[in-house]
Amino acid sequence: MTLWGGRFSGKLDEQAWKLNASLPFDQRLALQDVKGSLAWAKALLKAGVLSSGEHTATVNGLKSIAEAFKNGHFVFGEGDEDIHTAVERRLGELIGETAGKLHTGRSRNDQVATDFRLWMLEALPELQNAIRGLQSVLVSVAEENESVVMPGYTHLQRAQPITLAHWLMSHFWSLQRDLERLTDLTKRVSVLPLGSGALAGTTLKIDREALAADLGFASASANSLDAVSDRDFAAEYLFCAAMTGLHLSKLSEAVVLFSTAEFGFIELSDAFSTGSSLMPQKKNPDLFELARGKAGTLVGLLTGLLTTLKGLPSTYDKDLQEDKLPVFQASDTLMSILPVLGGALETMSVKADKMLAAIDGSLYATDLADYLVHKGVPFRTAHGMVGKAVKLAAEKSSALDQLSVEEYQAIGPFEADVYELFNPLASVNKHNVNGGTSQDAVKQQIQKAKSYLKGEIK
């Protein structure tokens, strides 16, 4: 049974039917569809379309359908084109002709937009919790490694000493922005389309604000034409997902690099690395590579939907059926990556000695310039003087901390205390500005992060 057979005398071609049907993916909206229908039945009762007996029958029927979905007993029929058809067909089997009143004043256009938004209102906090899970791991691993020093990189070249904690926390804050974006998006998802009908609204006396409140929406949409076509929320969701994907990719790229023999900064646990079918010695960071790779897929999902939306005229067009697959895929992708990355970071071993060994004398060049600045040398001049010291060390195949006092003094106003600079933690702790890499500053950063995680700051 289709919901639209009346004006047709022939059957839809079999392959056309398959192309048209959305049940394979929109059955994921089953419980939201029933929820929306329950609220709509209440609105129909208030509008005088359903008698109280009919309303009770409808509610009981819908509730038993919801039960069947929950325990996996719901049987789809061959003619179920989409989830809305399936629910209505089953309701008819359960309560008879009264089921036919449920769709009064409603179209699948406002119905599907409502279902999808209801789904997203549930999915958003779940995604946020998964992000918070990874953030908590970053914080706890950072706390364990507050005094572990490593080279910080720019251009992937060793730059200045930092702490591992500071590096880990840098990934906390990008995820924090992702959380904020999702919270902000929630406002725009929480707008009810139901009551917009196919496009023009409904002739029934429906209190749409009450309906919105019933379904947990913050408000009802202001324009029925806009309401049935608005998929901004889906595109925004995909942007948020892609952005999180990029953040996870950045983290993953570093983990892949740091776990190579060339870096050797970390070793992943057996539970979170894989082997090679050919090379017995290999221990591969596949899961991080997948996270990095899936970021590309997430960007593609966003691009795909934006391209689908581009050029659509006003109100509902069947193109919009293409909105659900990318959003579901993006959600599943992130929900599968986030806990795995958390587990892997939590169980990796940190090779503090390797990190320390990678801090060679050249990483103190900026500290040497700052030393001269404190002696009154203008920074630009100090930069030039230290550059000369770097050049001299390179010519001698030596290092900055190996040059003699005499050599330093020939270059600028250095004194014997210059060697005190070549200490990683001392260097780190001099960067004691808010947000800097000093141990104190990182402690404060971690405290702030914990307050975010506890919900004390929003």
Q: Would you please indicate which residues are annotated as catalytic (active-site) residues?
A: 155, 276
Binding to ligand ARG by CB under 6 A, coded x per residue (else -) over 373-402, reads ------------------------------
- Shortest distance (Å) from residue 124 CB to ligand ARG: 20
Question: Pick from 269, 321, 347, 429: which binds ligand ARG (CB under 6 A)?
Answer: 321
- Shortest distance (Å) from residue 194 CB to ligand ARG: 13
- Alpha helices per DSSP H over 198-260: 208-215, 224-229, 232-258
Q: What is the DSSP string of 56-84?
A: HHHHHHHHHHHHHHHTT-----TT--SHH
Q: What is the DSSP string of 313-362?
A: -SS--GGGGGGHHHHHHHHHHHHHHHHHHHHHHHHPEE-HHHHHHT--GG
Amino acid (1-letter code) at residue 101:
K
- Shortest distance (Å) from residue 197 CB to ligand ARG: 11
Check binding of 109 to ligand ARG (CB under 6 A).
Answer: yes
Quick one: which segment of 91-99, 318-326, 364-372, 411-419 binds ligand ARG (CB under 6 A)? 318-326
| Alpha-carbon distances of 409 from 30, 231, 384, 402, 412, rounded to whole Å | 78, 68, 14, 14, 5
Ranges within 19-38 binding ligand ARG (CB under 6 A): 22, 26
Q: How many residues form the binding site for ligand ARG (CB under 6 A)?
A: 10
Quick one: which segment of 241-249, 314-322, 401-409, 421-429 binds ligand ARG (CB under 6 A)? 314-322
Measured from the CB atom, the residue of 3 and 204 that comes closer to ligand ARG is 3
Q: What is the DSSP string of 384-440?
A: HHHHHHHHHHHHTT--GGGS-HHHHHHHSS--GGGGGG--HHHHHHH--STTSSSHH
Quick one: which segment of 104-112, 127-135, 328-336, 358-366 binds ligand ARG (CB under 6 A)? 104-112
Instruction: With beta carbons less than 8 A apart as the criterion, state whether 217 and 190 touch.
Output: yes
Quick one: which segment of 280-288, 313-321, 390-398, 428-436 binds ligand ARG (CB under 6 A)? 313-321
Measured from the CB atom, the residue of 304 and 436 that comes closer to ligand ARG is 304
Buried b (16+ CB within 10 A) or exposed e, 53-92: ebbebbbebbeebbebbeeeebeeeeebbbbbbbbbbbbb
Check binding of 90 to ligand ARG (CB under 6 A).
Answer: no
Check binding of 115 to ligand ARG (CB under 6 A).
Answer: no
- Shortest distance (Å) from residue 312 CB to ligand ARG: 12
Measured from the CB atom, the residue of 28 and 354 that comes closer to ligand ARG is 28
Residue ranges of E strands in 41-156: 149-154
| Alpha-carbon distances of 4 from 13, 108, 244, 428, rounded to whole Å | 15, 11, 41, 70
Q: CB under 8 Å to 218, separation ≥6 — which residues?
A: 187, 190, 191, 212
Ranges within 324-343 binding ligand ARG (CB under 6 A): none
- Shortest distance (Å) from residue 185 CB to ligand ARG: 21
Instruction: With beta carbons less than 8 A apart as the criterion, state whether 275 and 284 touch.
Output: yes
Ranges within 57-86 binding ligand ARG (CB under 6 A): 82
Quick one: which segment of 62-70, 105-113, 123-131, 358-366 binds ligand ARG (CB under 6 A)? 105-113
Quick one: which segment of 68-76, 106-114, 170-178, 421-429 binds ligand ARG (CB under 6 A)? 106-114
Check binding of 320 to ligand ARG (CB under 6 A).
Answer: yes
Question: Pick from 35, 89, 90, 108: which binds ligand ARG (CB under 6 A)?
Answer: 108
Check binding of 112 to ligand ARG (CB under 6 A).
Answer: yes
- Shortest distance (Å) from residue 120 CB to ligand ARG: 14
What is the distance of C-alpha 372 from the center of its chain?
45
- Shortest distance (Å) from residue 335 CB to ligand ARG: 22
Measured from the CB atom, the residue of 22 and 427 that comes closer to ligand ARG is 22
Check binding of 316 to ligand ARG (CB under 6 A).
Answer: yes
What span, in angstroms and rounded, lies between the C-alpha atoms of 244 and 174?
8
Check binding of 221 to ligand ARG (CB under 6 A).
Answer: no
Structure tokens at 18: 């398959």
What span, in angstroms and rounded, lies between the C-alpha atoms of 354 and 220?
58
Q: Find the helix or strand (DSSP H, E) in which 157 lies.
A: strand 157-163
Measured from the CB atom, the residue of 152 and 193 that comes closer to ligand ARG is 193
- Shortest distance (Å) from residue 22 CB to ligand ARG: 4
What span, in angstroms and rounded, lies between the C-alpha atoms of 399 and 278?
42
Measured from the CB atom, the residue of 82 and 88 that comes closer to ligand ARG is 82
- Shortest distance (Å) from residue 180 CB to ligand ARG: 30
Phi-psi region of 223 (alpha: psi -120 to 50; beta: other; left: phi over 0): beta
DSSP secondary structure code for residue 108 in this structure:
H
Instruction: With beta carbons less than 8 A apart as the criterion, state whether 424 and 353 touch.
Output: no
Measured from the CB atom, the residue of 54 and 82 that comes closer to ligand ARG is 82
Interface positions with ligand ARG (CB under 6 A): 22, 26, 82, 108-109, 112, 316, 318, 320-321
